[in-house]
């Protein structure tokens, strides 16, 4: 019998990383590796790192060091870094963190099994040399699909397994292996970004924007439905650009109804939308298509015109509020979330007050706030008009307090509303907990169902909001469980 090889995947960062981890898991399982949940039970612990901001990078380093501490105390023999931080820093990370037995970039994913086997056998795999991945694809979006066939695109693995490998569930099985049994799963819609926001380094290590084929997205969704998934969340760096390299910038509008029609799927959610690229047809589909959540994850970042221009972004308070009014005129219960950066270089008190004006008028369901800090390799890091750290910290604390008050007020506005709740957990301590259409996984709060005895994970329940707990809602199932759940 072949020697038993075990591997554990530890995932940090965003939902895109979760998709990448499941692709890596699919590749490894197809080559005979046994996937285990805990790093201490694995021969190799693979840490899928995040390289977005300083705090995320610190978390990634901590996870690698924690996994390294397992060596010599159990089964774990090697710790390997993959993901955005590994891709972004490569050899630099390997030199700074000798505890990692390997630092692998995206180009290593296709042969991840061979790389891990080499490391497990005592060999070494050279850490990759980072490069600007924006230069790997043509400038013209129309030329990218053909060129992209030779470029490593995590999460874009072929939907059919390689020859000789039995699919897990019918002929449409993707090169993906689910790492949990949650009723919601993310689906990669595209990779990379063509925007050049001055504070963001992501395009340099994720590359230029390239869409997945609609047939791959559809087939992966069908496969996920066969695995028991009830909600899919479409992820990428910028979903509003989907299809521009396939000759149809409105491709998302036609794809969403098809995804919503997949047997077994109860809800389709779209994340990562750019306000400057929102168009009337997309708003209509997001607010008027059955089983498509009227949910808008809009990347505002700020609302003061001067700050937005310095960020190389577009818009202002009044235009953003007008966009929100348009959305709510079509779907009054629509969910809206966004992230904001405070203390950006050159941000004046008047600019900060303008951001506060927007937040007070926007009625957002969830608000993420970050204090500006230099990110190496970005244009903003070269700006001279930096704010003192104590000013940034004071503004961060101030707007964070405001955000907490505002999202609680927005939750209270939902008292009496009817919501469709996807049940995600049932236990003796917390009871029945799920999410409404206005709440994305892990970021936007949750709904606690009272009187939900007999409900199971994966049920969709119609309920009335009867209370709030900060950003979270309390709701009662309507018309009895047999009629309320499906």
Q: Residue 368: which of 337, 324, 409, 412 has the closest Cα?
A: 337
Q: Is 221 a known ligand-binding residue?
A: no
C-alpha 339/C-alpha 415 separation (Å) is: 25
Q: End-to-end distance of the chain based on CA atoms, in angstroms?
A: 45
Residue with token string 């087939």: 219
Alpha helices in 331-464 (DSSP H): 349-362, 389-413
Residue ranges with strand state E in 64-126: 78-82, 102-103
**SS3 category, 443:** coil
C-alpha 77/C-alpha 70 separation (Å) is: 8
Element (H, E) at 329: helix 317-330
C-alpha 180/C-alpha 424 separation (Å) is: 12
Q: Is 197 a known ligand-binding residue?
A: yes
Q: Is 474 a known ligand-binding residue?
A: no
Q: How many H-runs (helices) and E-runs (strands) does the chain carry? A: 15, 18
Q: Is 200 a known ligand-binding residue?
A: yes
Q: Is 84 a known ligand-binding residue?
A: yes
Q: Is 348 a known ligand-binding residue?
A: no
Q: Residue 265: which of 216, 219, 327, 334 has the closest Cα?
A: 219
Residues in the chain: 486
**SS3 category, 339:** strand
Report residue 210 as tokens.
Answer: 């390239």
Report residue 269 as tokens.
Answer: 């959610």
If phi over 0 gives left and psi between -120 and 50 gives alpha, with beta otherwise, what is residue 218? alpha
> Quick check: 434 and 475 in contact, CB under 8 A?
no
User: Which residue ranges are tagged as binding site?
Assistant: 14, 50, 84, 193, 197, 200
User: Which residue ranges are tagged as binding site for [4Fe-4S] cluster?
Assistant: 14, 50, 84, 193, 197, 200
């Amino acid at each position: 019998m072949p020697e038993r090889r075990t591997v554990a995947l530890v995932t940090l960062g965003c939902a895109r990383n979760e998709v990448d981890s499941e692709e890596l898991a699919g590749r490894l399982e197809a080559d005979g590796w046994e996937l285990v949940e805990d790093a201490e039970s694995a021969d190799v612990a693979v840490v899928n790192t995040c390289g977005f901001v300083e705090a995320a990078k610190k978390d990634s380093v901590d996870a690698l060091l924690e996994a390294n501490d397992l060596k010599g105390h159990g089964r774990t023999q090697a710790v390997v870094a993959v993901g955005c931080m590994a891709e972004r820093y490569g050899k630099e990370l390997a030199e700074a963190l000798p505890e990692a037995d390997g630092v692998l970039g995206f180009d290593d994913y296709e042969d991840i099994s061979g790389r891990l086997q080499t490391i497990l056998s005592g060999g070494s795999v050279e850490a990759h040399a980072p490069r600007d991945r924006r230069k790997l694809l043509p400038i013209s979006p129309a030329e990218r699909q053909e060129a992209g066939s030779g470029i490593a695109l995590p999460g874009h693995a072929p939907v059919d397994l390689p020859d000789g490998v039995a699919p897990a569930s019918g002929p449409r099985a993707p090169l993906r292996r689910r790492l949990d049994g949650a009723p919601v799963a993310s689906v990669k819609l595209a990779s990379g970004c063509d925007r050049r926001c001055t504070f963001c380094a992501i395009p340099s290590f994720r590359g230029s924007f390239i869409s997945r084929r609609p047939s791959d997205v559809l087939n992966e969704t069908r496969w996920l439905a066969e695995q028991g998934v009830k909600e899919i969340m479409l992820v990428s760096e910028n979903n509003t650009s989907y299809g521009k390299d396939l000759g149809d910038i409105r491709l998302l509008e036609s794809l969403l109804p098809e995804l919503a029609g997949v047997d077994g799927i109860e809800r389709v959610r779209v994340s990562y939308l750019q306000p400057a690229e929102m168009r009337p047809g997309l708003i209509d589909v997001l607010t008027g298509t059955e089983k498509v959540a009227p949910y808008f994850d809009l990347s505002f970042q700020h609302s003061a015109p001067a700050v937005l221009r310095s960020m190389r972004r577009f818009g202002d308070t009044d235009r953003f509020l007008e966009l929100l009014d348009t959305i709510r005129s079509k779907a009054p219960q629509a969910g809206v979330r966004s992230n904001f950066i405070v203390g950006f270089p050159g941000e004046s008190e008047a600019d900060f007050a303008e951001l506060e004006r927007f937040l007070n008028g926007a009625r957002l369901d969830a608000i993420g706030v970050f204090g500006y800090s230099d990110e190496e390799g970005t244009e903003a890091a070269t700006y001279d008009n930096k704010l003192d750290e104590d000013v940034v910290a004071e503004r961060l604390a101030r707007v964070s307090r405001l955000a907490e008050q505002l999202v609680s007020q927005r939750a209270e506005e939902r008292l009496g509303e009817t919501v469709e709740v996807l049940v995600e957990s049932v236990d003796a301590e917390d009871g029945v907990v799920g999410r409404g259409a206005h709440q994305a996984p892990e970021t936007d709060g949750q709904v606690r169902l009272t009187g939900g005895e007999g409900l199971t994970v994966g049920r969709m329940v119609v309920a009335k909001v009867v209370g709030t707990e900060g950003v979270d809602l309390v709701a009662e199932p309507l018309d009895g469980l047999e009629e309320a759940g499906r």
